[in-house]
Amino acid sequence: MEKYLYEREKGLKTMKNEKKIDKERQLSFDSLPPSIRETMTEEEKQLFLYADEWPESLFDKLEEFIIKD
């Protein structure tokens, strides 16, 4: 039982560390016009803030704000 609790606590700490918001991403999100932010689903908001890769639908919504290399 103790091992289970330890593993569960360890897993929760890992999830919290993975969920740390990048300050630049948060600033970018906050700088989006409200009309754009309001069209984003909760999942898209989470993807914007945390994901390594975005789905095509998110790129489509944000295409006018994305600077291509």
State the alpha helices, DSSP H only, in the chain: 2-18, 23-31, 34-39, 42-50, 56-62
pLDDT at 69: 73
Q: How confident is the model at residue 5 (pLDDT cuts 50, 70, 90)?
A: very low
Query: Which pLDDT belongs to residue 19?
Result: 67
pLDDT, tens only, 42-61: 999 999 999 999 999 999 99
pLDDT tens digits for range 8-35: 444 434 334 456 788 999 999 999 999 9
Q: pTM for this structure?
A: 0.65
